[in-house]
Chains A and B, each alone.
Chain A
Amino acid sequence: IAGITQAPTSQILAAGRRMTLRCTQDMRHNAMYWYRQDLGLGLRLIHYSNTAGTTGKGEVPDGYSVSRANTDDFPLTLASAVPSQTSVYFCASSDLDSNSPLHFGNGTRLTVT
């Protein structure tokens, strides 16, 4: 089934540890995104990539990094996790067309203790 796969589904992480959230899509979409969703704050864009080899910062990029080595994969790395990064993380993708909607993965629930 075509779509976006995120891993892990959930994770409990000690503060200060490094963590990479994985995201893979098989829809051949050019654009990929990472959002975090927090109660009362909605979905906030962390980083995005419009094509392989390029990335950009969203609203809340601090403490996160991304890479886009190929079209399908867009991992999100927390270099040194802090409790404020406790959130639900969604990876999404879309065609590079302003009329194209976002398609979301199932999310990763991350708890930083």
Chain B
Amino acid sequence: QKEVEQNSGPLSVPEGAIASLNCTYSDRVSQSFFWYRQYSGKSPELIMSIYSNGDKEDGRFTAQLNKASQYVSLLIRDSQPSDSATYLCAVNRDNFNKFYFGSGTKLNVKP
């Protein structure tokens, strides 16, 4: 079983819709969770981090964490074509300072 699992997509949504990206992780001791956006040919850039159960909002982005279900998600409201990218979920286990990444979900926002 992979440490972090994501649906590879592609996930296609129309412009203005809500895009919902999901991620599950296998290790219950995982402490912190991150979402990165990666455009084709570029490096990953951090867009959200979340550490406790519940929702965290930043502009059009909302991260949701449910540690009991070992599930973290990213919602993108009012999706724009510029949001089209691959979204990587990353998990950090305390004491090891090692980050585990999902293989990413490719999002296509259609104008």
**Using a CB–CB distance below 8 Å, which chain A residues touch chain B?**
31, 33, 35, 40-45, 48, 50, 58, 90, 94, 96, 98-99, 101-107
Q: Mark B68-83, 1 if CB is under 8 A from A, else 0.
A: 0000000000000000
A6 smallest CB distance to B (angstroms) = 9
In whole angstroms, what is the CA distance A107 to B45 when docked?
A: 12
Smallest Cβ-Cβ distance to A58: which chain B residue: B98
Q: Is B92 located at the chain interface by the 8 A CB criterion?
A: yes
Hey, which chain A residues are within 8 Å of B99, CB to CB? 33, 45, 94, 102
Q: Which residues of B contact A41 (CB under 8 A)?
A: 103
Complex Cα distance, B46 from A94, in Å, reads 12
Main secondary structure of the interface of A (DSSP, over half): strand
Given contacts A42-B101, A90-B43, contact A98 B31 (CB under 8 A): yes
* Majority-rule SS of B interface residues: strand
Contact B43 A107 (CB under 8 A): yes
Q: A42 near B103 (CB under 8 angstroms)?
A: yes
Looking at the complex, which one of B44, B51, B88, B98 makes contact with A99 (CB distance below 8 Å)? B51
> Given known contacts A42-B103, A42-B104, is B46 in contact with A98 (CB within 8 Å)?
no
Chain B 52-84 against A: per-residue CB contact (8 Å), 1 yes, 0 no?
000000000000000000000000000000000
Could you give 6 example pairs across A and B, Cβ below 8 Å? A41-B103, A42-B88, A96-B97, A98-B94, A102-B44, A103-B46
- Give B3 Cβ to nearest chain A Cβ, in Å: 9
Whether, in the assembled complex, B32 has its beta carbon less than 8 Å from a beta carbon of chain A, the answer is yes
